[in-house]
Amino acid sequence: MTHSAGPGEAWAACYFLATRIYRVAGQDPRESAARASRRTTWNLHTSDTDTLVTTLIALALHSAALDMAHERQAPAAAGIGEIPLNTIAEHLHTRPRHEFFAGAPYLNAQAPATRAVAALRLLAYTAKQPAPLTMEHLAIDARLTVLAAARSAHPEGTVGSL
């Protein structure tokens, strides 16, 4: 990506890379079995769970990209591939969920995961049960997925190394 890439391009790159992270993690049979088990335990077995988890990974990656861009005084799309997978996992573990949406760009109806972002936003801002618990379970699933991808990554352990 060039330094002139806009916020929509940074989001598109993050979503593409999140899809790749999810796919790499799913290639490990142990991770796939563990994912199925935890989703059964948490009652997260809807057809949209994969999309929600992938989108949450994209939001965490986008958040990390914005942090890095701020530190470097560069566009968010610059250097996304250099972000360590462990940083994304850490964002999923420690960052308040509503902060993922603070820097998210406006997504038009044709953008990838527009509905998933809207659903996650509802889960993040809903105070009634079981929404907060569901959001936490999705975040844990996303974090464990990123860590599984990190174990499969090249020695650099970055998004770009997958």
Residue ranges in the chain assigned as alpha helix (H)? 7-26, 29-41, 49-72, 85-94, 99-102, 114-125, 131-152
For residue range 39-53, list pLDDT tens digits in order: 999 998 777 899 999
pTM of the model: 0.88
| Of 85, 101, 87, 93, residue with least CA distance to 136 | 93
For residue range 82-101, list pLDDT tens digits in order: 899 999 999 999 998 888 88
Please give the full DSSP string across 76-111, using - where no structure is assigned. Answer: TTTTGGGSBHHHHHHHHHHS-TTHHHHSPPP--TTS
| Of 1, 136, 156, residue with least CA distance to 85 | 156
Q: Give the integer Cα–Cα distance in Å for 29 and 142.
A: 17
User: Do residues 125 and 46 touch, judged by C-beta distance below 8 A?
Assistant: no
Q: Give the integer Cα–Cα distance in Å for 14 and 104.
A: 11
Supply the DSSP symbol for 66: H
Across the range 115-121, mean pLDDT stands at 89
Highest mean pLDDT among 11-15, 71-75, 127-131: 11-15
* 151 or 129, greater pLDDT: 151
